[in-house]
Structure 1
Amino acid sequence: MQHPLSLKTVIGSDIEPYINGLAQLRIEVFREFPYLYDGSIEYETSHLNTYLQSDRCIAVLVFDNGNLVGASTGLPMEDEKEVFKQPFLEKGYNLANIFYCGESILKKEYRGRGIYSRFFEERESHAKHLGGFQWICFCTVERPADHPLRPDEYQTLDPIWQKYGYNKHPELTTTHRWKDIDKESESDKTMVFWMKEIG
């Protein structure tokens, strides 16, 4: 029997009590393909500090009996790190018109229950409530189809994102560094942006 899940949306500095839980959840879920991320709490809490600096950020949190099992975040692109901003500046976008969606992560056993779509709905609703945004976007890692750690049963989320109205923009890419779970050191990863017009 499945437990009923509860969703909680927090805005701005109200995210602070959940930073450690978010960090741990990111490390767990992003170990899976395609990220294969071998993360640390120290790095994650530093990364999530960006959200503490934005009074317009959102975090959609999913709990099972008080335990954090899923989360999705977003904030105006103006409040993000330079590595996210630069591709848009180079292509002539106005950052003030763009809302950026961070992770949408959910522990395996809670998938397939309609939560993923709620993540997108809640973030888009927040962006519209703030007003002034023409675009909403996210980015995802690019991995080769023949990657040795790609599970046989792995299915790309591209059709789902397209169903939600997002389109891949290969001209908008950025680079991140992290250590893969099967490697000894960090390496650069190409991240590509997906966008949807909401204005």
Structure 2
Amino acid sequence: MASADHPQSGIAANPRSGISVRPLTGEEIAAGLGDLADLRIRVFAAYPYLYDGDAAYEAEYLREYAAAPDAVLVAAFDGDRVVGAATAAPMLHQKAEFRAPFEARGLDVARLFYFGESVLLPEYRGHGIGHAFFDQREAQARRCGADAACFAAVIRPGDHPARPAGYTPLDAFWTKRGYAPIDGLVTELGWKDHGEDGESVKPMQYWLRQW
């Protein structure tokens, strides 16, 4: 995918007619949380997350996110319809279990931005929107004085029974963006997979980029 971002205007044009990508901040975030919750449940239902979405959990999680100072929600619009979204906020304001692997290594979380979900409906993929999400979140991180950004990706075994034939992970895309997995920098997060009776804890590998 090729970036079609225009960071100077805060708007990312896209080759797909009618698509725009722009960051929301402050009160605009709260207005977009309903769409983000729906997208999270729909997109994360697929492999590798297999998330059996829970509306009550989404409401609590997103309320906490929106309250974080300097948080940004980047939304992709097809006309007035939100078809994708990505989030970012200072790591300093994330849950203790998200900060812990960095703090254990003596890394300054006050200079680190955490990129949360990046969700996009399948029919809109392959048009540069993923790059625009990263461009806008990295711009917000720099504005807030961060000198590095990270995200966490679920670790699934290669022989997982739900892995689709021909599945290609996003590792190559992330590497092209300048991110790399850091050995031993792993956290854990629990959610309910489709087909599970309850939540189970999954390992999450951190990827990091410094600038």
3-state SS of the aligned residue for 1:147? coil
1:56 aligns with 2:61: no
The superposition leaves residues 78-135 of structure 1 with CA deviations (integer Å, 9 ceiling, x where unpaired) of 111112111111111111111110111100000001000111111111111122x221
Aligned length: 196
Change over 3 Å in CA distance of 1:12–1:78 after alignment to 2: farther
1:143-158 aligned at under 5 Å gives the runs 143-158=156-171
Quote how far apart the aligned CAs of 1:3 are. 4.2
**Which whole-Å CA distance do the structure 1 matches of 2:139 and 2:24 have between them?**
13
Normalising by structure 2, we get a TM-score of 0.89
Q: Which residue number in structure 2 is paired with residue 104 of structure 1?
A: 118
> Gaps (5+ residues) in structure 2?
1-15
**Which whole-Å CA distance do the structure 2 matches of 1:181 and 1:166 have between them?**
30
Q: Is the 8 A contact 1:23 1:45 kept in 2?
A: yes
Quote how far apart the aligned CAs of 1:6 are. 2.1
3-state SS of the aligned residue for 2:63? helix
- % identical equivalent positions: 41
RMSD between aligned residues: 1.1
Structure 1 moving runs of 4+ over 6 Å: none
One-letter identity of the residue aligned with 1:174: T
Quote how far apart the aligned CAs of 1:170 are. 2.6
3-state SS of the aligned residue for 2:50? coil
**Which whole-Å CA distance do the structure 1 matches of 2:18 and 2:78 have between them?**
7
Q: Which residue number in structure 2 is paired with residue 42 of structure 1?
A: 56
1:1-199 aligned at under 5 Å gives the runs 3-131=17-145, 133-198=146-211
**Which whole-Å CA distance do the structure 1 matches of 2:142 and 2:195 have between them?**
41
> Gaps (5+ residues) in structure 1?
none
Which stretch shifts more, 10-19 or 109-118?
A: 10-19
3-state SS of the aligned residue for 2:187? strand
Q: Is the 8 A contact 1:50 1:80 kept in 2?
A: no
Q: Is the 8 A contact 1:98 1:135 kept in 2?
A: yes
